[in-house]
Amino acid sequence: MSKKFHTGTVLSIAGDTLLSPEGMGGIYKILNYMTGDNLFTHQLPRAARVCRPFIKKQLPQLADYDDSNVTKDNHVEWLVGQVEIYGEFLEVSPLEPGVWESQDSITELMGMVDDPKKIIVAVTE
């Protein structure tokens, strides 16, 4: 079952530039949907790396998508142009079973830092 996402959100995963009209909220939504996980901020880059080729496979029109010319000054205009090309929304399906390796968020974070003792876990009720 696929779900529609704003083209800017999809392009944010297909490329290297944040173009989602929802900002990071849109990134969480699409990556959580595709992975079936509830991702933490530090897990987003790994999820995006895993999801990118699947987005390009699902949407062959994005196979050669290149956002290297997007700047802070032209990103709004760029996105308007991309919406004209691809439409306002694109349908995306979740990853195939077994593609995404869900990891405990704290364990994954501990593997990302030089000294895991610096990680402080606050438990709330």
pLDDT in tens, the chain (125 residues): 899 999 999 999 999 999 999 999 999 999 999 999 999 898 999 999 999 999 999 999 999 999 999 999 999 999 999 999 999 999 999 999 998 787 766 666 666 667 767 667 778 88
Indicate the number of domains in the chain: 1
Give domain status of residue 125, yes or no.
no
Q: Are 76 and 19 a contacting pair, CB within 8 Å?
A: no
Q: How far is CA 43 from the centre of its chain?
A: 10
Global pTM reads 0.86
Give domain status of residue 123, yes or no.
no
Give domain status of residue 40, yes or no.
yes
Residue 66 has which token pair?
């290149």
User: What is the SS3 assignment for 96?
Assistant: coil
CA proximity to 99, closest of 45, 44, 53, 39: 53
- Measure the CA–CA gap between 12 and 14, rounded to whole angstroms: 6
C-alpha radius of gyration, the chain, whole number? 16
Give domain status of residue 79, yes or no.
yes
Q: Which residue segment(s) compose the domain that 47 sits in?
A: 3-118
